[in-house]
Structure 1
């Protein structure tokens, strides 16, 4: 007879941590350690090890977790929200939800640095940019930003750097008071540290002749819904060398004259209502469009068109020399993560509906607002907006507003309530005629009247029109891609064709160092699309969002325990924003003590480019500290720099384990040095995957750190976003955690907002919540151990053929390592050649030339099996043998499988094969490749050509015809 314990449930940990016990034993033998604990002891310094296990709830099974979360989600009340303010109900086309948002082929890909195996999402992003360019009437657009408020602040700072000679010392930026409150708040945050004087007021009263004024921003339509013509205003501003920025509702531009045609210098906003759920604040793709003249200053990623080695058109990320990973403290922005997955969705929404479909949607939205306005007039109410798109403003006093609110909320309806008592009502794509009737019933009841309106009849004869100056007359989305996929079958096939061009985690390991491309488990992803999380407005009353609030409370408690800190802010919606938030909290702390002069940030030379870029944004002066020959911070140099800048020292920014993949044994001493000189320690949490359960930022002596939830805590990278970058802090910094003007949140002395929404991209917090809940303390700790095991296994397999640049005192790496490829220059082989050749082996390259030029940084994560690690190692060793063939004279130095990589199926099948090696060697360099060959869709791309001939919208059809004629 067999006895079983019915309380035993399947462990999610066993699904997430890939190596099996027998494999672990084999790997340890290769590494030369008798147990995982021995390996960890040889890797993580004893002085920073946790003495006790983390105090987290017991791990749940996938089934149990999803049931429990469903109960929690039910506490979120799905009211009809007419609040607007940049967040609207939208219909997500099923073909996009199922085949993009819920598809790991799209959401597990990385930022498309390796363009040859990312042509699908690059094309999707070109569609996004074209959509934005066409609708805004501008010349160039980027491939998304984090949110509308961030985009506004990026425009403000971009134009500060573009001030004309006559305005070189001007530092005033004016913002119309009729702009969304969250945008105003984020603008305040960004303006003050960099010396910009932000003036908020009535745009009709702004003095455009003020010699200190360099820029103006207005909302279009206005925050209250009113639409006005800014053509004359913009012309006058131009005469005074004042830049003009419009924060525009992209859907409204289907019907309204776009700001670009009114002369705006930049148009920014959100694409949320293009088929992306509200998600209690995000994630959504913001957009940024401007003039061609400003292309080298535009923030964020730009996708451009270039040529591959066969002369074919190909997409790539353009003008990368603008970005923080290259420009560092001189960067135009600290933006790293964008919102690619959501940008893809928004672009596909435009592709699916096409120009005629969008006109129908926009007209329908406007018609609903018109019906409401007419109906309220019949009921005796005054609607104040002379011209409007989707939002009307009803005149009221506070007493009537309170009465209306009580009636509306009883009917599960939310309006926007202005301080003066007026009521804002924003309709959207999801609003029905029955909904409009319910809204009118609310007002009728408040007025003590019988409704008496035949809304059904009214809905059949709504007259819509705009004044000539405000009516769009220009064409948009004329490219064939927006006019041939309106049937679902064609759309499905188009999405699949693009997906098939991209290598993602569904194909193979993506071993990008400092990126932590781990499993994004299906159970973690499922709740993201639940209506109880997706269809909640970020400014809904708290009593309607109790499920979210419970999740936030739990997550803050868990992340505080994991980090060893006292409090956490969930607001920053990327790692770079987390860095910035952490530094702004440090700044506020120093200011609260009267130490306004503390503005020096010490940063290691090995730091990620976002660190110095964020420091400059926070108003700090960057002082670099050197690293020694072992890759560690030079403690003597640090002492000297801290002493020199003691009076003004604000912070140290340090990554741990270091960006060199090593646990620095002097980390506590490093933190103590900074504290002795009055500074605070900011820890970059990019490498937190090597810490969880073994040590913590609090334990090493840090005061604040950000966490990349899209790395350590399983939010997928989405092809370049979304991400989340919460910050954890010690108690003395907690009062300064960021707040929000619309919802009470943050610390008692909260700094102004970092992101538009109070809890950032709230809907994807469910993913990290799921990961922690299903792993538990033991599972999380084991994940860290396996990540370190896998990295050291790869190191052990490669180190005989490749130099490993840095290790700890006992020869171990942390969770990643740097492989030195510089010696191969003698064979005319660059690190880029190795990266491209890996594509032929079916792998995405590791991180190239960071933090050391001419190297690759490899991070396998705990989710990869021994079999996958072996395939990758075999590929690297195969490439090393190919390099040796060049050294031995068996292959030509400048015409070989590496310099010609990657090899496309078109090239290999061509009748014109003239390479000095076989087709088989080109395409099938290892036996395992035969079982599941991934073909790069283009040859090696000419980056320089793409930058010299910048094209950031859909390739004209004529260009394809030219290619065919040349073929």
Structure 2
């Protein structure tokens, strides 16, 4: 390899942890002569890829960023007035630099281990409080995927709340015609498979009766009008229905909130609170509701509890209410959030405070009012009598206006020969004058101009009954951090409470917490990508279209399929979208009766939840003692249901971390009985470049870009879950209004969270074909090395026929519970004292931990983690041998906070040294948990999900 080839391949050595010497040493420990030998022992030859994929050769980081700049320049960032749920916003630099661009925030994992997640939990509690205050509803979750899917979640929640049995007595949902079109599209997709009838119409003349379980209205609506819905809400309630209001947080600083109008649920997007449009995402949706629905609400809920010392501690509340845990009895498959974006939005509110938010909203409203007045002086009719930021203009030549506006680098929204203009935080007086000039040119009139002095009249163009009078954001956290120094320190204080990938490895099985390289992340902040509206004309988005086209091609080649949709904006959405394509395929063949899905007992809970949402019935397939799918049981059930078999959902390698050698036979059995095969892509990190779903025999596969393809987890989101399909399913991929075909739309934007597709695009471009294959090989090497070190001390549950594992493996901790009462949770909490996040706990087997190191971890880090688990094993043995007390020991009392270690009194039988610094490496780099073990039961019995008064958690 010459110097220029070495430069092109440099990213591979940055991304993959072990060097050549480490590789040789690790293979020796495993007992393999070479990496090729290990891979041959692990991946069945019958499914190995034998020829190149056709992925371009690797680019250096410098080359990639240089080329991407040229691509970015093909995007034209016009002044945007399109609105429709997406708005220009100003991200405060202190938030941009210290959260959005900070690996201490974007590489965090979902806060299942509360003791090392107190920072992001506090920020998410702030988000919930912000949403609850602004919507006037008592309980909010910690974000959902986007406004349209949040509306669909609300629809499903109230539908199942009203129709409590399998007999649907109230099947209809009324949706006002002036709801955002992308929301209507997603509602229609979600409704049909579960028996909901969507009725779209004018709320003022709607004939609501006892067949309706509820209604959805937009506030302000898609034309920008702010309507007083009180009488309509009373009407729906009169027939025992419930009301969902899709709304705008910035508008609610001036408008009467949904809760005060009588709404039961409020949903929307927090995008305009400092989160760039990004051609559609990622953005944090919000969901607030009445206390009656807290146990049926989708998504995550952050609550207040106490720790083992009685101190205030936060954690995910009511974790068993996470819908997907209920499997086929779930009403939602959501198992993620948009935590990073929710944290940005929360910090936006913290930084500006209630006064600052109201000032921003007032400026926006007054500029809209000034534009309306200017248009009126030119004889141009604006029909909204009461509005917040959006004007609805009639009587103009929309085609001429569009041509003139685009020539002035300006975008409006055009609908049925009317023009809709939305003002936002980035709009200035000069911008308003430019807009007035555009209208004057089209109408052949002299332009009216305004000045800042014209904004002095601060009377609102809002109906008297809709002006907000109630207070909001009164908690000190929203009224303290006005200076940048204060804000910077607050963000840093929270960051310091959290363990992220910039602290140590996070070895979560099936979650693939690999390196999120800085060069992959940098372009997401570029305005050429962040500043585009998802409904911008195609002529302005050529850069994005090029990236999307190339990424589609790469993902198809990697999966062995022929078509791809990038629309699903989470892994669970990908599952759902994949199953919808299968359902649509069967319906098109007049085989709608094929409604049974076979799912292995070991599958993640989102699989059966997604199947039910897509209108399928779930039949569970057994696993054998080795953890593999029981082929005999699968065949028997496939034949039993051959006349109604729709699909099999299968994860490969298996959820147990094994390449099942019968996988081709399994797929053939399904095909022989009339079904199709959906492959869950959670474990694609062990497939890329070595095998593929298409080669194995699957028909559709979703890909977790936030796992295999390096998009960061962000403390619980964002994610992306595109699907790749074969030729027979390609006609049934999700459509979208903007693409001219809304069939099966599954998210609000046509390409989901488009801006973070850049990360996966960069990952593939900089690794190239060899690099993505080597990444897979090293994921398998690292897992087998850790397994080889740990199997001398712990029982490893499942392996392949040659004794190797895939990219993850399961450690059985159940014997220790039987012998001395030490549980998986004790080991998880004790790992915190050693500076590590716990592996995946009790999935897929209760009482176990599942470890996935990823290819990005070097041998030194792998050894530190193994040393920690071996040391914990010795601590357990000390209990078994009577050298350590069964109840007062380092595991049962873990984790140990700095306050506990430094307390005047030490009443334990083991030393402070053993508690806090059990191995030498910990003395060199100590991560201190900010709270001791959290009491989940206390928090669930005393549910508090908003910021409580400061006096309630100040201790002496």
After TM superposition, the score normalised by the length of structure 2 is 0.99
Q: Could you tell me how far apart the structure 2 residues matched to 1:618 and 1:954 are?
A: 37
Within 5 A, what are the aligned runs for 1:468-617?
468-617=464-613
Structure 1 6/61 Cα, relative in aligned 2: closer, same or farther at 3 Å? closer
- How far 1:333 moved relative to its partner? 1.1
Q: Could you tell me how far apart the structure 2 residues matched to 1:4 and 1:671 are?
A: 45
- How far 1:641 moved relative to its partner? 0.5
Within 5 A, what are the aligned runs for 1:198-237?
198-208=198-208, 210-237=209-236
- 1:677 maps onto 2:647 in alignment: no
Structure 1 914/67 Cα, relative in aligned 2: closer, same or farther at 3 Å? same
Structure 1 283/865 Cα, relative in aligned 2: closer, same or farther at 3 Å? same
Residue in 1 that maps onto 2:250: 251
Q: Could you tell me how far apart the structure 2 residues matched to 1:5 and 1:716 are?
A: 31
Give CA-to-partner distance per residue, 1:521-546, whole Å, 9 cap, x none: 00000000000000000000000000
- Residue in structure 2 matching 1:909, options 890, 902, 905: 902
- 1:344 maps onto 2:343 in alignment: yes
Within 5 A, what are the aligned runs for 1:887-906?
887-906=880-899
SS of 1:900 mapped into structure 2:
coil
- How far 1:459 moved relative to its partner? 3.6
- How far 1:8 moved relative to its partner? 4.3
Structure 1 164/598 Cα, relative in aligned 2: closer, same or farther at 3 Å? closer
- How far 1:247 moved relative to its partner? 0.1
- How far 1:370 moved relative to its partner? 0.3
CA contact (8 A) 1:322 1:332 kept: no
Residue in 1 that maps onto 2:931: 938
Q: Could you tell me how far apart the structure 1 residues matched to 2:456 and 2:937 are?
A: 56
- How far 1:788 moved relative to its partner? 0.2
CA contact (8 A) 1:189 1:753 kept: yes
- How far 1:336 moved relative to its partner? 1.2
- Residue in structure 1 matching 2:862, options 856, 869, 885: 869
Q: Could you tell me how far apart the structure 1 residues matched to 2:323 and 2:391 are?
A: 42
Residue in 1 that maps onto 2:436: 440
| CA RMSD after TM alignment | 1.2
Within 5 A, what are the aligned runs for 1:196-345?
196-208=196-208, 210-345=209-344
- How far 1:58 moved relative to its partner? 1.1
Residue in 2 that maps onto 1:808: 800
CA contact (8 A) 2:331 2:613 kept: no
- How far 1:597 moved relative to its partner? 0.5
CA contact (8 A) 2:163 2:170 kept: no
Within 5 A, what are the aligned runs for 1:844-883?
844-883=837-876
- How far 1:958 moved relative to its partner? 2.1
- How far 1:89 moved relative to its partner? 0.1
- Residue in structure 2 matching 1:403, options 370, 390, 400: 400
- 1:927 maps onto 2:927 in alignment: no
- How far 1:233 moved relative to its partner? 1.8
Structure 1 627/7 Cα, relative in aligned 2: closer, same or farther at 3 Å? closer
After TM superposition, what 4+ stretches of structure 1 lie above 2 angstroms from structure 2? 3-8, 164-168, 452-468, 742-745
Q: Could you tell me how far apart the structure 2 residues matched to 1:342 and 1:575 are?
A: 17
- 1:773 maps onto 2:769 in alignment: no
CA contact (8 A) 1:322 1:331 kept: no
Give CA-to-partner distance per residue, 1:768-803, whole Å, 9 cap, x none: 000000000001100000000000000000001100
CA contact (8 A) 2:18 2:859 kept: yes
Q: Could you tell me how far apart the structure 2 residues matched to 1:503 and 1:396 are?
A: 58
Give CA-to-partner distance per residue, 1:710-766, whole Å, 9 cap, x none: 000000000000000000000110111111112347xxxx73210000000000000
Structure 1 165/501 Cα, relative in aligned 2: closer, same or farther at 3 Å? closer
Q: Structure 1 residues 317-326 or 43-52, which shifts more?
A: 317-326
- Residue in structure 2 matching 1:694, options 690, 694, 699: 690
SS of 1:739 mapped into structure 2:
coil
CA contact (8 A) 1:598 1:647 kept: yes
- How far 1:885 moved relative to its partner? 0.4
Residue in 2 that maps onto 1:786: 778
- Residue in structure 2 matching 1:627, options 617, 623, 630: 623
Q: Could you tell me how far apart the structure 1 residues matched to 2:61 and 2:450 are?
A: 50
- How far 1:170 moved relative to its partner? 0.8
- How far 1:895 moved relative to its partner? 1.4
Q: Could you tell me how far apart the structure 2 residues matched to 1:772 and 1:106 are?
A: 24
Residue in 2 that maps onto 1:820: 812
- Residue in structure 1 matching 2:822, options 824, 829, 834: 829
- How far 1:876 moved relative to its partner? 0.3
Give CA-to-partner distance per residue, 1:157-187, whole Å, 9 cap, x none: 0001111789961111110010000000000
Q: Could you tell me how far apart the structure 2 residues matched to 1:190 and 1:164 are?
A: 16
CA contact (8 A) 1:310 1:939 kept: yes
CA contact (8 A) 1:151 1:269 kept: yes
CA contact (8 A) 1:252 1:389 kept: yes
| Matched positions, count | 953
Residue in 1 that maps onto 2:179: 179
Q: Could you tell me how far apart the structure 2 residues matched to 1:172 and 1:325 are?
A: 25
CA contact (8 A) 2:142 2:286 kept: yes
- Residue in structure 1 matching 2:7, options 5, 9, 12: 9
Q: Could you tell me how far apart the structure 1 residues matched to 2:539 and 2:663 are?
A: 45
Residue in 1 that maps onto 2:790: 798
- 1:754 maps onto 2:750 in alignment: no
Q: Which runs of 5+ in 1 are unaligned?
A: none
Q: Could you tell me how far apart the structure 1 residues matched to 2:164 and 2:746 are?
A: 31
Structure 1 7/619 Cα, relative in aligned 2: closer, same or farther at 3 Å? closer
Structure 1 452/372 Cα, relative in aligned 2: closer, same or farther at 3 Å? closer
Structure 1 505/512 Cα, relative in aligned 2: closer, same or farther at 3 Å? same
SS of 1:490 mapped into structure 2:
helix
Q: Could you tell me how far apart the structure 2 residues matched to 1:454 and 1:37 are?
A: 72
Q: Could you tell me how far apart the structure 2 residues matched to 1:569 and 1:334 are?
A: 19
- How far 1:40 moved relative to its partner? 0.3
CA contact (8 A) 1:181 1:742 kept: no
- How far 1:453 moved relative to its partner? 3.1
Q: Could you tell me how far apart the structure 2 residues matched to 1:355 and 1:788 are?
A: 51
CA contact (8 A) 1:43 1:808 kept: yes
SS of 1:646 mapped into structure 2:
coil
CA contact (8 A) 2:429 2:450 kept: no
Residue in 2 that maps onto 1:158: 157
- How far 1:207 moved relative to its partner? 2.2
SS of 1:647 mapped into structure 2:
coil
- How far 1:54 moved relative to its partner? 1.7
- How far 1:9 moved relative to its partner? 1.4
- How far 1:604 moved relative to its partner? 0.2
Within 5 A, what are the aligned runs for 1:65-144?
65-144=64-143
Q: Which runs of 5+ in 2 are unaligned?
A: none
- How far 1:147 moved relative to its partner? 0.2
SS of 2:204 mapped into structure 1:
helix
Give CA-to-partner distance per residue, 1:825-884, whole Å, 9 cap, x none: 121101100000000000000000000000000000000000000000000000000000
Q: Could you tell me how far apart the structure 2 residues matched to 1:403 and 1:341 are?
A: 41
CA contact (8 A) 1:323 1:332 kept: no
- How far 1:466 moved relative to its partner? 2.6
